[in-house]
Chains A and B, each alone.
Chain A
Amino acid sequence: MPWLPVAIFLAVCIGLILIRVFLGPTHPDRLVGLDTLNTVVVVSMVILGAAFNEVIYIDVAIVYALLSFVTTLFIAKYIEKGKF
């Protein structure tokens, strides 16, 4: 199955999302870009785990998804109130 071309395609997507993270005029724009980036990174980790037949990549993807969720919630709370 063509897992490696799909992974390269997702890497191109990650590069294009990084443009929004760097350009974003306001702070919530950068946060939205970061959250989208995290989802695409999780999916590409699962695809790479299927490509190389390694279960440990998918375990890393699960932990990355949960940790990026906590990170997004904390940055959103910081943007909302201005302090922790």
Chain B
Amino acid sequence: MALDIITYILIAIGCFFNILAVVGLLRFPDVYTRLHAGTKCTTFGSIFLILAVVIQSVYTWVTEGLSSPQSVLTIHALIALVAILLTNPTSAHAMSRAAHRSGVKPAKAVTDDLEKEKA
């Protein structure tokens, strides 16, 4: 079944990027690189995991007929994906701005352009 293979591939990509985010969050040296790992990789991984759910539920929806309750599951999963995609970069921007303004400096950074802008 081709759709099952596509779903397995999407789940594998999503799980890989989630564990990559966890490793980056644990191993990176300062808050900005941890933000880079923790925000972008989980957003990318959640896109693929929710797309796997959507593909399976659309398949069940089509086979069961148009009035199936799977339609609600599909549309609500897509709404959850849109909520993640809208809120995650915004909160990452707010967190990095708060970290820089509260005085946390990047570790091992050669230049800090934002500090030069303020001075």
Chain A residues near B (Cβ < 8 Å): 1-3, 6, 9-10, 13, 16-17, 19-20, 26-29, 31-33, 35-36, 39-40, 42-43, 46-47, 49-50, 53, 55, 58-59, 61-62, 65-66, 68-69, 72-73, 76-77, 79-80, 82
When the two chains form the complex, which single residue of B11, B43, B69, B72 contacts A39, counting CB atoms closer than 8 Å?
Answer: B43
* Residue total for B at the interface (Cβ-Cβ under 8 A): 48
Can you list 12 A-B pairs, Cβ within 8 angstroms, ordered by A? A1-B56, A3-B53, A27-B102, A28-B102, A32-B34, A35-B39, A39-B46, A43-B50, A46-B50, A46-B77, A46-B80, A59-B76
When the two chains form the complex, which single residue of B22, B31, B73 contacts A26, counting CB atoms closer than 8 Å?
Answer: B31
Residues of A with C-beta under 8 A to B15? 6, 9
When the two chains form the complex, which single residue of A20, A33, A76 contacts B97, counting CB atoms closer than 8 Å?
Answer: A76
When the two chains form the complex, which single residue of B21, B83, B95, B98 contacts A62, counting CB atoms closer than 8 Å?
Answer: B83
Chain B residues near A (Cβ < 8 Å): 4, 7, 11, 14-15, 18-19, 21-22, 25-26, 31, 34-35, 38-39, 42-43, 45-46, 49-50, 52-53, 56-57, 69, 72-73, 76-77, 79-80, 83-84, 87-88, 90-92, 94-95, 97-99, 101-102, 104
